[in-house]
Amino acid sequence: MSSTGICPNFLANGICENIACTHTHTIFTCEPCGFVFQSSIEYNQHLETKKHRSRVLGQTAVNYCSICKANVQNHKGWEQHIQERIHQQKADDAGVPPADVVPQPAKSTATATACDLCLIVVPNRFWIEHLNTQDHKLREQHSRFMTAVEQSEIDKNGVVVEGSLDFEIIDPTVAKVGKELILTVKSPQSPSRSVKLLEAKLASAQGNRSGVSS
- pLDDT score for 11: 81
Higher pLDDT, 69 or 176: 69
Candidate from 44-48, 49-53, 57-61, 80-84 with smallest mean pLDDT = 57-61
Spatial separation of the C-alpha atoms in residues 34 and 48, rounded to whole Å: 16
Q: Return the percent helix, strand and coil in the chain, to nearest 5.
A: 35, 15, 50
* pLDDT class of 166 with cuts at 50, 70, 90: confident
Whether the pLDDT of residue 170 is over 80: the answer is no
Spatial separation of the C-alpha atoms in residues 116 and 101, rounded to whole Å: 21
Please indicate, yes or no, whether the overall pTM of this predicted structure exceeds 0.85: no
Asked if residues 13 and 148 have their Cβ atoms less than 8 Å apart, the reply is yes
Question: What integer is the mean pLDDT of 184-195?
Answer: 72
**DSSP-assigned letter for residue 205:** G
Asked if residues 7 and 21 have their Cβ atoms less than 8 Å apart, the reply is yes
